[in-house]
Structure 1
Amino acid sequence: MSETKEGLDLLAAETLRSRYLREGEEDWKDVCERVAKAVATTTEEYTEFFNLMNSKVFLPSSPTLMNAGTASGQLSACFVIPVEDSIEEIFDSVKTAALYRRPEEVQVLISQKSGQMVLLLPQVPVLRAVP
């Protein structure tokens, strides 16, 4: 299979171009620089994070690759909000969820794992109900 000068196959190169490159960016190195600069708090962290990404040893999630260093700044794919076990507290958690996002975008999954209820707000469309 053909590869780019960065060692990406053609599908990866097209995905990079169509989804992750921002204005002024030309290649994978530019994405790595933007993301590392946005998430690092020290020069050492920047260097380490950049090197891990550029060598493709570590890749953050798509929201991080798309949004780090942009006005959105949204780096995660979902939020987890604790939910207490009373009707008032459940609705307080739903209200908190609605305040994080536009109400029409809030997709809620309430799950009780390990004795703790949580409210998840995925940023991708929910295609089917989760039992």
Structure 2
Amino acid sequence: MAKYGHELSAFAGSGLSVLQIGDALNLGLTFVHVNAKDAADVDANTRSSGHDDTEWWRVAGPLLAEVLSEDAHPLASRIGTAAGTARGSGHDPDHAYAFGLGLLMRAIADLQPPAP
């Protein structure tokens, strides 16, 4: 109960209703849990394969290019290439966490207390 109370205290003075506080906390905890699992999975895949994402794409990229047409999936190709170029990976768990957490915190801050 002490842990729950401590977590809830982050919303003290927020103006949110008790239900909104509970919902915001549950959303935040779920977000953190899912992102921690994703980062752990990426780390485990790197350890088990011995290759990070950059190395994997160096090897697999040319093979995939032979069987997949960029024309068949232009949006996926364009976005995946842009992400890979900018971040060295099509999926960067650290970036996904920071980006998502920022959006989540702004959305919670924008919640309006329910009308009386």
Q: TM-score, normalised by structure 2?
A: 0.27
- Which structure is richer in relative contact order (CA contacts within 8 A, separation 6 or more)? 2
| Structure number having the greater helix percentage | 2
Q: Which has the higher strand share?
A: 1
**Which structure would you say has the larger Rg?**
2
